[in-house]
Amino acid sequence: MKKVYANAAEALDGLLHDGMFIAAGGFGLCGIPELLLDAIKDAGTQDLTFASNNAGVDDFGIGILLQTKQVKKMISSYVGENAEFMRQYLSGELELEFNPQGTLAERMRAGGAGIPGFYTKTGVGTVIADGKEHKDFNGETYVLEEGIFADLAIVKAWKADDTGNLVFRKTARNFNVPAATCGKICVAEVEEIVPRGSLDPDSIHLPGIYVNRIVQGSHEKRIEQRTTRKKEDA
């Protein structure tokens, strides 16, 4: 099976449709599938629902799709860096389903494992639990959360071989692994494609069985919050 594609647009060819549900990896601006998000913008796909830890910033990540009004709903944990997100949400243009970060990661992991739902204590007694089923176990109350089953997963990795085995670099692994597993189709963008057999089997973070398509490209190394200090006098 051919998995390596020439560019992001080709890797997404035939997969996109209006109203689809996409799970995206990344945390802040770390490990986000920026090339695939650019290709989705160029494709003009509308009414998208994204499950992603956050929505990037105004001009990068999922933020570029908010600017073009291609996103209908976000399932997220943190949205504090995106002014356009805030504007659309407060004006009623964008639906938002808040999830605690651990719950969101577990919802993706559960979907990837074929688990339709699970109980967690996180969120009990807050607006997160409103309208959800509650159940007591050993005297403690838990809330039912549903697994995420996405039409498409898009992730960003450091290295891949041509069979789709992926290696993520340090914290860029973040939400990428659970996101990759919960999509019916997974497309990965990587910094480098290496020869088959050159990856240490014990160092592979995501087996190629989860990955359907791969594209290699150049990536921008953005810093989300740059903190500096004044140079001390000698």
Residue 154 lies in a domain: yes
pLDDT at 45: 98
CATH of the domain at 124: 3.40.1080.10
Share of the chain above pLDDT 70, in %: 99
SS3 labels along 111-161: HHCCCCEEEECCCCCCHHHCCCCEEEECCEEEEEEECCCEEEEEEEEEEEE
Q: Please list the ranges in the chain whose pLDDT falls under 70.
A: 233-234
Answer yes or no: is 147 within a domain: yes
Q: Is residue 198 part of a domain?
A: yes
Domain assignment present for residue 104? The answer is: yes
pLDDT tens digits along 47-103: 999 999 999 888 899 999 999 999 999 999 987 778 899 999 999 999 999 999 999
pLDDT at residue 98 in the model? 92
| Residue 61 domain flag | yes
Chain CA centroid to CA 126, Å: 25
Q: What share of the chain is helix, strand, coil (3-state, %, to 5)?
A: 25, 30, 45
Domain count, the chain: 1
Residue 223 maps to a domain: no
229 located within any domain: no
Per the prediction, the chain carries an average pLDDT of 94
Domain that residue 83 falls in: 4-216
Quote the pLDDT of residue 234: 56
